């Protein structure tokens, strides 16, 4: 996990189908998400960073696109790393009080101490050229 920076290890064993945690953050509209992405990019450039550090998950609900911005939260779900080849979690949309929420569900049994991973779902060729690690 050192090359990835941060990540999440299972504190206990999980069985297929179990709920692990929520990808929690502020639910915002698509336009606001684009404004924030630009702001995060500008802030990263000002700090001399190669990549912006933000935690945003885009989703569709009732024919609209939303974003869960977890950048300012301290919740653990935002730190779960990517694996296109060997994810052990998947996201599931839950609706509570007519608001979408994202939960992580176990795809296959997970042992205590194993890194939690899910497929970020990015398939845009331009993004994959910029971030080749998303192909792994």
Please provide the average confidence, as pLDDT, over all residues in the chain: 88
- Asked if residue 125 has pLDDT above 60, the reply is yes
Name the nearest CA neighbour of 57 among 9, 99, 93. 93
- Asked if residue 3 has pLDDT above 70, the reply is no
pLDDT at residue 136 in the model? 64
* DSSP structure string for 65-113: EEEEE-TT---GGGGPEE-SSS-SEEEEEEEETTEEEEEEEESS-B-TT
Residue 46 domain boundaries: 26-74
Same domain, yes or no, for 59 and 111?
no
* DSSP structure string for 48-67: T-SS----EEEEEETTEEEE
Same domain, yes or no, for 85 and 136?
yes
Same domain, yes or no, for 62 and 88?
no
Place of tokens 């994959």: 128
Same domain, yes or no, for 101 and 52?
no
Q: How far is CA 62 from CA 5, 19, 34, 131, in A?
A: 35, 23, 20, 30
pLDDT at residue 123 in the model? 59
**pLDDT digits 0-9 by tens, 24-82:** 999 999 999 999 999 988 888 888 876 667 899 999 999 999 999 999 988 999 999 88
């Amino acid at each position: 996990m050192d090359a990835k920076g941060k990540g999440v290890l299972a504190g206990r064993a999980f069985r297929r189908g179990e709920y692990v945690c929520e990808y929690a953050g502020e639910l915002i509209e698509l336009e606001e998400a684009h404004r924030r992405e630009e702001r995060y990019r500008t802030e990263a450039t000002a700090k001399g960073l190669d990549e912006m550090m933000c935690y945003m998950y885009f989703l569709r609900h009732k024919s609209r696109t939303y974003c869960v911005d977890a950048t300012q939260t301290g919740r653990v779900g935002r730190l779960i790393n990517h694996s296109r080849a060997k994810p052990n979690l998947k996201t599931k949309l839950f609706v509570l009080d007519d608001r979408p929420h994202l939960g992580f569900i176990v795809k296959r049994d997970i042992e205590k101490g194993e890194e939690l991973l899910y497929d970020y779902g990015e398939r845009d060729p331009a993004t994959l050229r910029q971030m080749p690690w998303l192909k792994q």
